[in-house]
Structure 1
Amino acid sequence: MTRDHQHGQHGDHEHGHQQHHHDQAFWDERYGSAESVWSGNPNPQLVAQTADLTPGRALDVGAGEGADSVWLARQGWDVVGLDISPVALGKAAAHAVIADVADRIEWRQADLLEWQPGDERFDLVTAHFMHLPADLRRQVFPRLARAVAPGGRLLVVGHHPEDHETVRRDFDEHFFYTGADLLAELDLDGWDVETDDAPTREATGPDGEPATIRDTVLRVRRPS
């Protein structure tokens, strides 16, 4: 899937741009259309939200060209970078070699609509700007929570509904979510809500104009 690093961090990246954009062919074509689709920078909310965490094993969901996975690996995390597009993962693997962290990252190709975490447990599961229709989101996001190890964190970042009127006018309203929406959809009984915020950042809008983006940021900790 994608990384949204164009409008300041990602921008036009969304995982699931519209409802029919969930298949491998779409994303392979997208990633094959340019040398770099995204900026190559890690998501700023990832940087901010992991600053106080002890590195362990991380799952980067929708790894795209690998910016977040590479950044995590450089901080000492052992990373699984998951994406539907082998084209994207090929680029990500090349970036990891350049950054000298290839030995800390395992790249996996999978369709999130079918992927199951199994018995795997991660100290951090991170998903940034993975915008799915609400019905699919309610299927996928609980699986991400199940992949979190006891004492580990789930970090979800996406466009706040306010962005529908600014940088994401091409999205239907049901692609957006707040922290409260996510908490209502996830089975997180006993989990600690460490961050439920909607910070703003300055970026470039779809027509090249200055724009203010509001990110939905939810970080929750699974009980030990």
Structure 2
Amino acid sequence: MKAIWNSRYDSKEYQYGVEPNQFFKKQLQKLSIGRLLVPAAGEGRDAVFAAQIGWEVHAFDSSDTAQGKANKLAGEKSVNLHYECIDAASVRYPFESFDAIALVYFHQNPEERRKFHQQCIKWLKPGGKIILEGFHKNQMGLNSGGPKDLNMLFDLDELNEDFTGLTKEYSKVKETLLNEGPLHQGKAYVIDFLASKSLV
């Protein structure tokens, strides 16, 4: 899998662009600045944006090629990232250490996804937020991005189950037009999802 992603990112061009995902940007700007985790951070577009507006950003990806491009982008924007090259099954953080976790187009097989989402809940501080956008199962057959395996696409029932224990603040399935670098272009079906951890 690492070789696949390294190959995908092996280009001077940023495959998903350098501008942040719009749902992530909108939700993050509503929050008080704190400590953010960006799993599967890729070439760094979301992580770098967050750092630019003052967040302490921790990020990881299994691709060292992506890590290099993210650090390059961070340098160009004069910000710092705490970016590790590691896979999601191996990464470890202290419990209750993040004010927000951004899951932007991070698709896994169902068993891995459920385990990782439950881990994210443990990493959130009380009051912390999950900000998620990903491809809905209706994305199958479209060429605007995302896995070609239906089981790796999202639906709301699965996300609600994955994040049991959090307060759901917003969730919507929508048809949209993506314009996020060469690999996210055109008509798409996505889920926007926002949830928070109880203060108690």
Question: Shorter chain as normaliser: what TM range?
Answer: 0.7 to 0.9
> Please, which of 59, 80, 104 is the counterpart of residue 81 of structure 1?
59
The equivalent residue for 2:193 is 218
1:80 offset after TM fit, Å? 0.6
* Contact 2:107-2:147 at 8 Å conserved across structures: no
Displacement of 1:200: 2.8
| 1:128 Cα deviation from its structure 2 partner | 0.8
Cα gap change, 1:218/1:170 in structure 2, threshold over 3 Å: closer, same or farther?
closer
What residue ranges of structure 1 are gaps of 5+ in the alignment? 1-22
Residue by residue, what CA displacement relative to the aligned partner does 1:102-150 show, whole Å, maximum 9, x if unpaired?
2xx2111211022233335100101111111212212222112211111
Q: How does 1:8-157 map to 2 (within 5 A)?
A: 23-102=1-80, 105-119=81-95, 121-157=97-133
Aligned-pair identity in percent equals 24
Cα distance in 1 for residues equivalent to 2:128 and 2:40: 19
| Code of the aligned partner of 2:126 | P
- The letter for the 2-side match of 1:199 is K
Task: Quickly say closer, same or farther: Cα 1:169–1:84, change in 2 above 3 A.
Answer: closer
**Alignment partner, residue 161 of structure 1:** 137
How far, CA to CA, are the matches of 1:200 and 1:101 in structure 2? 34
**Cα distance in 2 for residues equivalent to 1:142 and 1:211:** 32
TM-score scaled by length of structure 1: 0.79
From 157, 161, 168, give the equivalent of 1:193.
168
Query: Counterpart amino acid of 2:187?
Result: T
Distance in 1 (CA, whole Å) between partners of 2:148 and 2:94 is 32
Provide the rounded CA distance (Å) in 2 between the counterparts of 1:29 and 1:40: 18
- One-letter code aligned to 2:132: V
CA RMSD of aligned residues (A): 2.1
Q: Given residue 135 of structure 1, which amino acid in structure 2 is its aligned partner?
A: E
Secondary structure of the corresponding residue to residue 152 of structure 1: strand
CA distance in 2, matches of 1:175, 1:59: 22
Give, in whole Å, the separation in 1 of the partners of 2:54 and 2:157.
31
Scaled by the length of structure 2, the TM-score of the pair is 0.87
Off by >6 Å, runs of 4+ in structure 1? none
Aligned residues of 1:117 and 1:143 also touching (Cα < 8 A): no
Q: Is the 8 A contact 1:138 1:185 kept in 2?
A: yes
Give structure 2 stretches of 5+ with no counterpart.
none
Distance 1:170 1:147, change over 3 A: closer
